[in-house]
């Protein structure tokens, strides 16, 4: 009788002990896991922050961009724009897009004031209506000029608008070299992506490949290949070509940069909304 009681007591103590040990070790394991998780996040963040830091100090830039929008059935159209960008402190960049082709939208100007955390401010000048219109800037997922790029893809990079995770190493680039694999998840509730996965070379921290995963389906939806990097002002690496493939529809948009110039001395006053209103 006492024996069985003792046994029972022993049993419950053992059980408690086991539960305690299991839960403790589980806790320790999870602590270890989460610490490695946060290490990976910190590592990825540091890489992106360094990449961002290396891309500061160019002051301003102008460039011509052409966009070849190609559908799977072979139909294609070409869009041409001229861009002017003014580098601001802490990601407060300002940019102007002047549409040149197609000719019916020639004269249209798109002005963006980017902010590191809050929503960007955007205006469009429409020559046909001779009017400057504010655009609601949460329209992230809309296609940019009917291309495979969305407004979100075209927006200025802002380090703290995303969370990062280090996924491992691979080879990428031209020529093939050691690369980081980094996962980016946007904090923006209006993002069109579940996540993006970038291959960034270790030497110069340039992105060569980005895979986009749709927020709607969670699956791979687009692949961006970045190529023809050029060094400007002995300091800044910029690609001349970006091609975005829609993996579902097989439609493709090729974006080519020409005549990229930096540190020209553009005036801040050119990037005011009122400067658009001057237009006739």
Partner 1 sequence: MLKGFKKTAKVNRRMTIFTGLLLCGFAISNTYAAKFQLEKRQSIGLEFKQFAHSSPSIDHNQDGSLIWQGNYGLSWQNDRGQLANELTIAPIIRYNSQDHERSKVDFKSLSWTKIETNWELRTGIRTISWRTTEAVNLVDIINQADASADIDDEDKLGQAMVNWVWLNDHFSFELLALPFFRERIFPGDDARLRGVYSIDTDHPEYASKAENKRLDAAMRFVLLLDQWEIAISHFSGTSREPILFLADPQHAELRPFYPVIEQTGLQIEYATDNWLWKLEAITRNGFTLPSHFLSSLQSAMPSRYSAAVAGFEVSLPPLFNPDYDYSLLTEYLWDQRRGEALANDLFIGLRIGFNDLQGSELLLGSILDLDRQEYLTFIEHSYRNNNNGKIDLTVRLFDAPGNASSRELETDFFELHNDDYIALSYTQYF
**Chain residues that interact with partner 1, rule: CB under 8 A:** 69, 71, 75-78, 101-107, 119, 121, 127, 129-132, 134, 136-139, 141-143, 146, 190, 216, 264-265, 267-270, 272-274, 278, 280
Q: In the complex with partner 1, which residue's Cβ is closer, 121 or 225?
A: 121
Spatial distance between the Cα atoms of 270 and 114, rounded to a whole number of angstroms: 15
Q: Among residues 163 and 214, whose Cβ is nearest to partner 1?
A: 214
CB of 194 vs partner 1, minimal distance in Å: 14
Task: Tell me whether residue 83 or residue 177 sits nearer to partner 1 (CB atom).
Answer: 83
Whose CA is closest to 75, among 250, 256, 258, 227? 250
Q: Compute the least distance from the CB of residue 222 to partner 1, in Å.
A: 13
Q: Of 145, 141, 142, whose CA–CA distance to 69 is shortest?
A: 145
Least distance between partner 1 and beta carbon 104 (Å): 5
User: Terminal CA-to-CA distance of the chain, rounded, Å?
Assistant: 103
Q: Collapsing DSSP states into helix, strand and coil, what is residue 61?
A: strand
In the complex with partner 1, which residue's Cβ is closer, 53 or 273? 273
Q: Which CA distances in Å does 157 have to 154, 160, 161, 186, 233?
A: 9, 9, 8, 11, 21
When the beta carbons of 151 and 166 are compared against partner 1, the nearer one is 151
Nearest distance in Å: CB 146, partner 1: 5
Q: How far is the CB of 178 from partner 1 (least distance, A)?
A: 37
Helix (H) or strand (E) holding 208: strand 207-214
Residue labelled with tokens 């996965």: 197
């Amino acid at each position: 009788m006492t024996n069985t009681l003792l046994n029972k007591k022993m049993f419950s103590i053992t059980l408690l002990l086991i539960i305690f040990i299991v839960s403790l070790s589980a806790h320790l394991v999870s602590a270890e896991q989460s610490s490695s998780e946060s290490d990976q996040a910190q590592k990825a963040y540091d890489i992106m922050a360094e990449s961002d830091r290396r891309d500061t100090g160019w002051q301003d830039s102008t460039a011509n961009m052409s966009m070849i929008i190609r559908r799977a059935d072979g139909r294609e159209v070409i869009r041409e724009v001229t861009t002017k960008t003014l580098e601001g402190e802490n990601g407060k960049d300002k940019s102007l897009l002047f549409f040149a082709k197609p000719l019916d939208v020639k004269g249209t100007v798109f002005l963006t004031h980017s902010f590191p955390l809050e929503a960007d401010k955007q205006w469009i000048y429409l020559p046909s209506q001779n009017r400057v219109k504010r655009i609601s800037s949460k329209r992230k997922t809309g296609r940019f000029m009917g291309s495979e790029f969305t407004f979100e893809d075209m927006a200025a990079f802002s380090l703290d608008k995303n969370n990062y995770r280090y996924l491992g190493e691979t080879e990428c680039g031209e020529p093939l070299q050691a690369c980081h694999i980094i996962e980016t998840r946007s904090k923006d509730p209006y993002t069109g992506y579940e996540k993006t996965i970038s291959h960034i070379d270790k030497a110069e921290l340039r992105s060569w490949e980005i895979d986009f995963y749709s927020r709607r389906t969670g699956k791979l939806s687009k692949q961006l290949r970045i190529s023809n990097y050029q060094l400007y002002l002995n300091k800044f690496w910029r690609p001349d070509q970006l091609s975005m493939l829609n993996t579902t529809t097989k439609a493709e948009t090729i974006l080519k940069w020409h005549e990229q110039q930096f540190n020209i001395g553009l005036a801040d006053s050119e990037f005011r909304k009122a400067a658009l209103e001057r237009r006739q």
